[in-house]
């Protein structure tokens, strides 16, 4: 079994001071961590990368400094499950979903899971037949009103997605 921690939109230091302890604990314990962009600073990236260790996949968000030099899209496979990660920047909700769908179709050649951030809203849905996850904001950064993240457990090809809000599974 593998557990993947999925976080996004930490916005440190512009909208939050630090990663909540409960999020940091889940990232440390995970077998792999995915961050869907908007770290907001190099120090936030370094802090989260340090928590995650070598099993870390991250993409750039619209609020990240260019000096982070992160890709706009990343693909990672964990125990036979492919994850396509993008921030999903778009001006409207309709364009957001379309942007994510286009990115997925460009990158994913078979079954997999799409991960995006940007909206600060938790989503576990289907876009064009692909499971789509948005973990919300790990720090509760505005416009979010709570701290959220996801974990994905993969066991013998089965995928179990769990959503956490302020350290409680919802």
Max Cα–Cα distance, the chain, nearest Å: 41
- The per-residue pLDDT for 79 is 92
Q: Which two tokens stand for residue 101?
A: 């769908």
Asked if residue 16 has pLDDT above 90, the reply is yes
Query: Domain map of the chain by residue range?
Result: 2-169
Instruction: Please answer whether residues 35 and 159 qualify as being in contact, where contact means their C-beta atoms are separated by less than 8 angstroms.
Output: no
CA distance 143 to 35: 18
Instruction: Provide mean pLDDT across the span 84-95.
Output: 88
Asked if residue 2 has pLDDT above 90, the reply is yes
Instruction: For residue 76, give the nearest of 125, 28, 35, 105 by alpha carbon.
Output: 35
DSSP 89-144: --SSHHHHHHHHHHHHHHH-SSS-EEE--SS--EEEEEETTEEEEEE--TT--TT-
- The per-residue pLDDT for 99 is 86
CA-only gyration radius of the chain, Å: 14
Please indicate, yes or no, whether the overall pTM of this predicted structure exceeds 0.75: yes
How high does pLDDT run on average in the chain?
94
Angle at 109 between CA 150 and CA 113, to 5 degrees: 10
- The per-residue pLDDT for 127 is 82
Instruction: Provide mean pLDDT across the span 96-106.
Output: 84
Instruction: Provide mean pLDDT across the span 113-136.
Output: 93
Determine the CATH number of domain 2-169: 3.60.21.10
H helix or E strand, kind and range, residue 82: strand 81-86
Lowest mean pLDDT among 11-20, 67-76, 94-103: 94-103
- The per-residue pLDDT for 134 is 97
Asked if residue 103 has pLDDT above 90, the reply is no
Asked if residue 107 has pLDDT above 90, the reply is no
Confidence category of residue 94, pLDDT binned at 50, 70, 90: confident
Instruction: For residue 8, give the nearest of 170, 159, 123 by alpha carbon.
Output: 123
């Amino acid at each position: 079994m593998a557990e993947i921690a999925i976080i996004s939109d930490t916005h440190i230091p512009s909208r939050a001071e630090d990663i909540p302890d409960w999020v940091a604990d889940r990232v440390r314990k995970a077998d792999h961590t995915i961050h869907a962009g908007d770290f907001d600073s190099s120090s936030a990236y370094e802090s989260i990368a340090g928590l995650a260790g070598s099993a870390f996949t991250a993409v750039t968000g619209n609020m990240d400094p260019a000096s982070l030099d992160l890709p706009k899209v990343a693909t990672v496979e964990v125990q036979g499950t492919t994850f396509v990660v993008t921030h999903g920047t778009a001006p409207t909700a309709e364009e957001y979903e379309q942007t994510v769908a286009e990115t997925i179709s460009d990158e994913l050649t078979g079954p997999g899971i799409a991960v995006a951030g940007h909206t600060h809203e938790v989503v576990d849905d289907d876009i064009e037949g692909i499971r789509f996850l948005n973990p919300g904001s790990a720090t509760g950064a505005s416009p979010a009103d709570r701290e959220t993240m996801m974990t994905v457990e993969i066991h013998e090809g089965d995928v179990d997605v769990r959503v956490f809000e302020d350290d409680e599974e919802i």
